[in-house]
Amino acid sequence: MNYVKSLLMAAVMLVAAGAAQAEMRKVVIGTEGAYPPFNWIDANGELQGFDVDIAKALCKAANFECTFVVQDWDGIIPGLIAKKYDAIIASMSITEERKEKVDFTGKYYNTPAKFVAAKGGEFEFTAEGMAGKVIGVQRATIHENFVRDNFPDADVRSYATQDEANADLAAGRLDLVLADSVALDEGFLKTDQGACCQFVGPDYSDPKWFGEGAGIAIRKGEEDLVAAFNKAIETIRADGTYKAINDKYFAYDVFGDAGS
């Protein structure tokens, strides 16, 4: 009798598990794959990085079955709108300009921007002081907008990827590069290529240009997906998953002020 009962219970559990699996929402995540340490493609062709691990953790917390699509940065919002993927998890800053096109979750990290230059370089970080300086930025980013707005007489050169801008700085073709400070520190300055260079000038975090931190971009009108990801962010922050991923990549907390 107990044996039959156990079999019945096992069968019920299998059916329940199958039903739960069937209910998992399929979500496609768009990311760049060219922005270490946040997202990059390794030697085996696999996506790696903080954004990728955070995305996987959020999908698990939200009971989503997630897959990834790699998309060049300057086409990443058009790709979302065209339904190539359902959400962007690619270190995208939450800005008013982008909010006109897409919706966002709350932030999942917030770090300042900063300039890097060859060691020994001295600069005056004013519109007049930067006149004629050759500054590299990644195309279609908050950093490009900031440089063009605040240093109108600089020679601004935009690149498809951050790595390309960093390489031209290392080769002496640029005076400065502006980007996220963590991406520059972990993805450039701590590499052999970045031994040439150092941080210069102040941190930049004015919300007018740099927004409210990096969030998940979602097509307008999909409030349920925004809510599910927001809840998942709260879950991984509360259960220690976020800290474990943070500590895998960084020796400091990249989330920023919990109240911001």
Beta strands in the chain (DSSP E): 25-31, 34-35, 39-41, 47-48, 64-70, 87-93, 103-109, 113-118, 134-138, 155-159, 176-180, 197-204, 214-218
Distance of alpha carbon 257 from alpha carbon 207, whole angstroms: 14
pLDDT digit string, tens, across residues 206-257: 999 999 999 999 999 999 999 999 999 999 999 999 999 999 999 999 999 8
Query: Taking the C-alpha atoms of 222, 223, 229 and 230 in order, what is their torsion angle to the nearest 10 degrees?
Result: 160
> What is the residue range of 75's domain?
23-110+212-249
The number of domains in the chain is: 2
Q: What percent of the chain has pLDDT over 90?
A: 89
For residues 227 and 163, state if they share a domain.
no
Question: Is the residue at 6 inside a domain?
Answer: no
Of 123, 220, 133, 117, which is closest to residue 168 (Cα–Cα)? Answer: 117
For residue 5, the model assigns a pLDDT of: 53
Residue 207: is the preceding peptide bond cis (ω within 30°)?
A: no
Angle at 166 between CA 81 and CA 48, to 5 degrees: 55
Q: pLDDT of 154-182, one tens digit each? A: 999 999 999 999 999 999 999 999 999 99
220 shares a domain with 106: yes
Q: Are residues 70 and 130 in the same domain?
A: no
Residue 7 lies in a domain: no
Give the per-residue pLDDT at 257: 80
- 103/128 same-domain check: no
φ, ψ for residue 23 (rounded to 5)?
A: -80, -10
pTM: 0.88
Cβ–Cβ contacts within 10 Å for residue 141, how many?
A: 22
pLDDT in tens, 22-57: 579 999 999 999 999 999 999 999 999 999 999 999
CB 33 within 8 A of CB 73: no
Contact 219, 102 (CB under 8 A): yes
With CA atoms as reference, report the closest residue to 87 among 49, 60, 55, 61: 55
